[in-house]
Chain A
Amino acid sequence: MRRRKFLKYCTSVLSSIYAIILAVPALGFLFSTLKRGQQEKATYELAKLNDLEPGVPQRFTIIDRRVDAWTKYPSGPIGSVWISKNEDESITAFSSTCPHLGCVVDYVPGDKVFFCPCHAATFESNGSIVSGPQPRGMDELNASIKTIRGEKWIVVEYEKFETGIAEKVSIS
């Protein structure tokens, strides 16, 4: 019976080795493919400052190359931003992605509010919540003004955020 015990012991050691040979690569493999949001933060020159009318937000499309796992797509739209010029020439930029579930937010010029058509989230033109199911206000993006060849350009740092939660968490 000693022999039998020994063999049982051997079986469990050997089968653990077998399991490890499979499990370690499996976990490595799975977890590296679960990573998401590989897109890096990037800045875009979107418009000339003078072309904007104070107080009226305008939507600009972000055009860039997109890498999806192994495929690299040529330039195309990857998102859009709402930019408004304030009276004092300062700039505010919002991601047009609704913080509720990610639809594209519209602007209603008459009421001077941002409005999401999916579940009726409404935002003040400064991005704060008016009404609706959204857990937070619109996501503000870093925007600055850069002088290029004597002209003032609006530069926006575009990134994406998790939707549906109260905190603003970047997924870059």
Chain B
Amino acid sequence: MLPEKTKKWIDERTGYKNFLHAIFLLNFPTKRRSRWQFIWGGALVLMMLVEIVTGTLLMTVYSPSEAAAWGSVHYIETQVNLGWFVRGLHHYTAHMMIVAIIVQIFLVIVSAGYRKPKEFIYWTSLLIGGVIVGLTITGNPLPWDQKGYWSYQIETGIAGTMPGIGSTLRSLVVGGSEFGNLTLTRLYTIHVIVLPVIAILLFTIHMALIRRERLRTAKIKEAADDPDVDFELDEDDPLKDEITQPYWPYQTTRTLVLTLFLIGIVIIQMMTYPTLKNQHVNTELLEWEADLHPSEIKLEAPADSALPFVARPEWFVRFLFELRHMVPKDLEVLVTAVLPGVLLAILVLVPFYEKVLGEKWGQRLAIAVYVGGILIISGISWYGIQTERSAPDYALNRSQEIAYAARASWLASENGVPPEGPASLLRNDPKSMGPLIFARHCGICHTWNGHDGTGHFIMEMKDGKKVKATPRASDLAGFATTKWIAEFLTNPRDPKFFGHVGSLKGGDAILNGDMSDWADSYVGPEGILSKADIEAVSALLAREANRRDYEPVSEAVIKRGISVFSGQNFKGKDGKVVDFDGYCAQCHAMKAGDPDDEGGGAAPDFNGYGSAKWLSEFIRSPGAEKFYGDKNVMPAFEESKLSKHDLNLLVNWMRGEWQRPTTDK
């Protein structure tokens, strides 16, 4: 690039050529047989460089605080050009590095790279590996999404069980006893400064040691090859194998081939990631339809300890997590603190195996222990993942998590993240919170399409067995729609409606009360009311609720509904006006259906029936005069039981009112 003269001018003043030689180990000997083995270290360095570059880029946008972290990562993924690529590269290359370390240590053991005088080279490489694992563990929670948050909970939880120093260590990395802003700033500091600096220091020492060792070998070779020097290598000396060959370009080419191959895998993985990751889950399960296609979901939902999430640790510490659940409680310390220590000792002590067992058997033992250990650890992790996936509710829970992730991403793109933080995106969203509130407060008696709103079934113990509980009150999915009301009027005693109310104290008055009598006398083949009459009066009632899925009906249908409701002008099945004494207004009040405004009073007031206001009032005091009065069996949900905020979310969710893409309006 530069003209020879300029190069010379600079070199005379800086000695950079020597420096480059030193860095690229020019003319250092390499093992003839293992030229492809010694490139993993170089590939690791190049991948570390990728991490440094992409990490620095991410730092220009990322903001480490509870209120901003998730939003800034979402911004990187969706707004910044190629942000998804940079973040994906950073994330997956880190995992690839851990794979590379596992391979590298294996190759070192196979080629006896720990043998005298290379013990310290081996130990520093172990330390660097440890730092890289640390970088991955501290990097993953940084987006402060559910996945990172919960896996860090588990990892710090494991650290906290260490005897003696455990709790101090935990509060040191967590920044107190609770997760919060300090957790993120600490994580961030450790991730971007502390660990990288340690890694670079270790790497420098490591390279210096390697240089020293290579130089020594080169000198011995030189002497052996020099006919003037009276020095011969033994026939079986490993140095016989070495050839003198510059690192550049012979090893650099190989290193680059491997690096690009590994990064290629990373890029492929990154492009197929979301779909690949959740391939085994049906994302449209039950109520949990996701707002975005899985391939568009880049982040789990914002961290929120109030939202359900099945915590899983990173894959490389998974085995500790699984083992912890396999052993009895008081042996936990063995797994979480002693075991990692033992594993570490096994690795660190490898150079000494040969002292005891001799070179051949020492190395064999080292290989056996390493490969065996990895097989056992992968076995445990694989078993853990399989058990988790085959758990009865796994698909349901996971599709809920995916739906939350999709919902949060969609809301953030649509509305922006509010200043108080991303968690409020879901906390103020009826679609996300409704099912949870329903399950907590209503799901004990009511059902929603048969389940508790979230897709789970309420269980109860019967004869020592867990069985699906019988609901005690009506199923509220589709409440106040024409269809729901028509079904109810046709058969109020149906298990879906009043069927099980009788099992409640005082519920008999409702089950066998006026409404059931009414249906017995007027509905059905013998009854005076036709199917069309039922439908008309249902539509009239549903009009009061005015849900978003209400389809307006013709004036004639409404008129017919009014005639059923008020009993005036009622036409029988033959089309003639007849007397009808089963009209609704006898008991129910509703201005829209009753021109005379008789007022009802004996049964729930239907003015605004099913509307947000009506529902809220009803839930607050179902026993009020205008609702069930003294027949009421439903508990009242006052402010102390159900906050105004939650009530609004619940009511809006029941009515299907939440922010949706404008296209399906």
Q: Is A10 an interface residue (CB 8 A)?
A: yes
For residue B591, give the distance in angstroms from its CB to the closest CB of chain A. Answer: 33
Find out whether the CB atom of B86 lies under 8 angstroms from the CB atom of A25: yes
The verdict on A26 contacting B86 (CB below 8 Å), with A7-B249, A32-B81, A70-B72 known, is: yes
| Stretch of A16-24, A51-59, A134-142 on the interface side | A16-24
A36 at the interface (CB under 8 A from B): no
B23-67 vs A, CB cutoff 8 Å, 1 = contact: the mask equals 000000000000000000000001000100110010011000000
Chain B residues near A33 (CB-CB < 8 A): 60-61, 80
Q: Which of these, A10, A28, A69, contacts B75 with CB under 8 Å?
A: A69
Give Cα A8 to B251, complex, Å: 10
Given A25-B86, A26-B86, A30-B57: A69 and B72 interface contact (C-beta under 8 Å): yes
B263 on interface, CB distance cutoff 8 Å: yes
Query: Is B57 touching A4 in the complex (CB atoms < 8 A)?
Result: no
Using A30-B57, A71-B419 as known contacts, say yes or no to A10 and B68 having CB atoms under 8 A apart: no
Given contacts A18-B259, A73-B419, contact A11 B249 (CB under 8 A): yes
CB within 8 Å of B: which of A126-171? Answer: none
The verdict on A67 contacting chain B, using a C-beta distance below 8 Å, is yes
Tell me whether B82 and A29 are in contact (CB under 8 A).
yes
Q: What is the bound-complex CA distance between A8 and B249, given in angstroms?
A: 5
- Which of these, A15, A21, A25, A72, contacts B418 with CB under 8 Å? A72
Looking at the assembled complex, report how far the CB atom of B535 sits from the nearest CB atom of chain A, in whole angstroms. 45
Of chain A, the residue at the smallest CB distance from B245 is A4
Q: How far is the CA of A33 from the CA of B61 in the complex (A)?
A: 8
A4 and B75 contact, CB distance less than 8 A = no
The winner among A4, A22, A25, A33 for most chain B CB atoms within 10 A is A25
Distance between Cα atoms of A74 and B416 in the complex (Å): 11
Q: What B residues does A30 contact at CB under 8 A?
A: 57, 60
Q: Is the pair A7, B256 in contact by a Cβ cutoff of 8 Å?
A: no
Q: Which B residue sits closest to A15, measured CB to CB?
A: B256
B435 contacts which chain A residues (CB < 8 A)? none
Contact with B along A53-84 (1 / 0, CB 8 A): 00000000000000101111110000000000
A24 adjacent to B419 (CB under 8 Å): no
Query: What residues of A have a CB within 8 angstroms of the CB of B416 in the complex?
Result: 67, 70-72
Q: In the bound complex, do residue A7 and residue B82 qualify as a contact, i.e. CB atoms below 8 Å apart?
A: no
Instruction: Decide yes or no: A14 and B53 within 8 Å by CB, A21-B263, A25-B89, A28-B82 being known contacts.
Output: no
Query: Cβ of A22 and Cβ of B50 under 8 Å apart?
Result: yes
Total A-B residue pairs with C-beta atoms closer than 8 Å?
A: 94
A24 neighbours in B (Cβ, 8 Å): 82
Once the chains are docked, how many angstroms separate the CA of A10 from the CA of B46? 16
Instruction: Assess A71 versus B71: contact at CB under 8 Å? Given A18-B256, A22-B50, A29-B86.
Output: yes
CB distance from A4 to the nearest CB of B (A): 7
What is the distance, in angstroms, from B181's C-beta to the closest C-beta of chain A?
16
> What are the residues of chain B within 8 A of A21 when measuring CB–CB?
50, 89, 263, 267
Interface residues of B in 252-271 (CB under 8 A from A): 252-253, 256-257, 259-260, 263, 267
- Using an 8 Å CB-CB cutoff, how does the interface string of B402-415 with A read, 1 for contact, 0 for none? 00000000001001
Minimum CB–CB distance for B330 against chain A, Å? 46
> Is the Cβ of B248 less than 8 Å from the Cβ of A70?
no
A14 touches B82 (CB 8 A): no
Most B C-beta atoms less than 10 A away, residue of A10, A11, A26: A11
Report yes or no: B81 in contact with A14, Cβ–Cβ below 8 A. no
Say whether, besides A69-B72, A70-B71, A71-B68, A14 and B253 are in contact (CB < 8 Å).
Answer: yes
**Complex-state Cα separation, A33 to B57, whole angstroms:** 10
Given contacts A11-B248, A18-B46, A70-B71, contact A25 B260 (CB under 8 A): no
Q: Give the distance in Å from the alpha carbon of A26 to the alpha carbon of B81 in the complex.
A: 9
- How far apart sit A11 and B251, CA to CA, in the bound complex (Å)? 9
Closest residue of chain A to B60 (Cβ to Cβ) is A33
Query: Known contacts A67-B416, A71-B68, A71-B419: does B81 contact A28 (CB below 8 Å)?
Result: yes
Complex: chain B residue closest to A73, CB-CB = B419
What is the bound-complex CA distance between A67 and B71, given in angstroms? Answer: 12
Interface pair A70/B75, CB less than 8 Å apart: yes
Which of A17, A70, A71 has the most CB atoms of chain B within a 10 A radius of its CB? A70
B28 to chain A, nearest CB (A): 15
Report the bound CA distance from A100 to B53 in whole Å. 38
Interface, chain B (partner A; CB < 8 A) = 46, 50, 53-54, 57, 60-61, 68, 71-72, 74-75, 79-83, 85-86, 89, 248-250, 252-253, 256-257, 259-260, 263, 267, 412, 415-419
Closest 6 CB pairs of A and B: A72-B416, A70-B71, A14-B256, A32-B81, A28-B82, A28-B81
Could you write out 8 A-B pairs with CB less than 8 Å apart? Answer: A11-B248, A21-B263, A22-B53, A25-B57, A70-B417, A71-B417, A71-B419, A72-B418
